[in-house]
């Protein structure tokens, strides 16, 4: 069984806040989903979009990225 590759995508919602989403969808599929989502909404908010994304990728999740220095 092949393990799915996951990618972390960075995006800005309509609060102009930076968010990161981990999902197994490729860039082209994710772009199509975003366009479909935006056509139904006036504003895009991270929490709502991640919920929508989970319908298409059950393992999708928002992740927190922090700097680590050593």
| Whole-number pLDDT of residue 2 | 64
Is 54 a member of any domain? yes
pTM exceeds 0.85 for this model = no
Is 15 a member of any domain? yes
Is 40 a member of any domain? yes
Strand order across the 61-63 sheet: 7-12, 18-23, 61-63
Cα–Cα distance for residue pair 60/25, rounded to 1 Å:
9
* 42, pLDDT greater than 80: yes
Is 70 a member of any domain? no
Is 1 a member of any domain? no
* 5, pLDDT greater than 90: no
* 15, pLDDT greater than 70: yes
Chain centroid, CA 68 distance in Å? 23
Is 18 a member of any domain? yes
Is 39 a member of any domain? yes
Is 52 a member of any domain? yes
Domain that residue 14 falls in: 7-63
Number of structural domains the chain divides into: 1
């Amino acid at each position: 069984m092949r393990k799915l590759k996951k990618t972390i995508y960075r995006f800005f919602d309509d609060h102009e806040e930076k968010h990161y989403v981990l999902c197994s969808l490729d860039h082209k599929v994710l772009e199509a989903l975003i366009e479909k989502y935006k056509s139904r909404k006036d504003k895009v908010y991270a929490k709502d979009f991640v919920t929508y994304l989970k319908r298409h990728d059950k393992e999708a999740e928002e992740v927190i990225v922090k700097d680590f220095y050593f």
